Amino acid sequence: MKTYQCIVCGLIYDEATGWPADGIAAGTKWEDVPADWECPDCGVAKADFEMVEI
């Protein structure tokens, strides 16, 4: 499981927890997150997230 960080606001997407509020189940791999998913905090699109080392 990896984590990804929003380039603008620093929000972390953790594959282990997913993002249930947007219907993204726990354990959802980053590549399976819909391309049009946007950072819930600042609106930056998935394409602009960066992988964070864990």
Partner 1 sequence: MANQDNSRKSITIENLEAAFAGESMAHIKYRYFAKLAREAGADDVAKIFEDTADQEVMHAFGHLDLLYPKTQLTPAKSLEIAIEGETYEYTEMYPKFRHLAIEEGNHAAVAEYDEQIAESREHAENFKRTLEKAAKRFAALAKVEERHANHYQNALNSLKVA
Among the listed ranges 17-25, 27-35, 38-46, the one in contact with partner 1 (CB under 8 A) is 38-46
Shorter beta-carbon distance to partner 1: residue 47 or 54: 47
Of 8, 12, 16, 51, the one binding partner 1 by CB under 8 A: 8
Distance of CA 42 to the CA centre of its chain: 12
13-32 binders of partner 1 (CB under 8 A): none
Burial classification of residue 54, based on how many CB atoms lie within 10 Å of its CB (0-12 exposed, 13-18 middle, 19 or more buried):
exposed
Of 12, 25, 26, 45, the one binding partner 1 by CB under 8 A: 45
Q: How far apart are CA 23 and CA 52, in angstroms?
A: 23
